Amino acid sequence: MSELFDAVDALVASRSPLPPPEERKRLRQVHGLTLDEVAAALKVRRATVSGWESSKTRTEPRGPEREAYARLLKQLAELYPAVPVAEEPAAPAAVPATPTGTPAPAPEARPRPCLL
């Protein structure tokens, strides 16, 4: 029965989505890993890992290399979660419009008497 479960786990892992290429590169770099180190660990060429991290080449790992790469990325993502993009501040409030749709004039400053 364990073989069946292992086969199912491998099948699911082979289709698990990987982070976008930019995130793959960020995770590797933030952990201080070089392309050569990752390539050696996965038993692939440096150019292969570079391709996986490039949004221009659109290459994706396959087979056992994909499973190992997904595992590496998952562990790195747990150590270094992505920082959410800060929301842009809301625009300042516009000058209130009059019923005609034109902006209301700014209130004029009135001189005040000075009391001594």
Structural domains for the chain: 2-79 (1.10.260)
Q: Which helix (H) or strand (E) holds 9?
A: helix 2-15
pLDDT at 2: 84
pLDDT reported for residue 87: 62
Instruction: Classify burial at 46, counting beta carbons within 10 Å of its beta carbon; exposed 0-12, middle 13-18, buried 19 or more.
Output: middle
Q: Consecutive 10-residue runs of the chain (116 residues): their mean pLDDT?
A: 81 81 97 98 98 91 93 97 73 59 69 73
Classify 97 as helix, strand or coil.
strand
> How much is the pLDDT for 53?
97
Q: pLDDT at position 22, please?
A: 96
Tokens 């698990």 sit on residue? 16
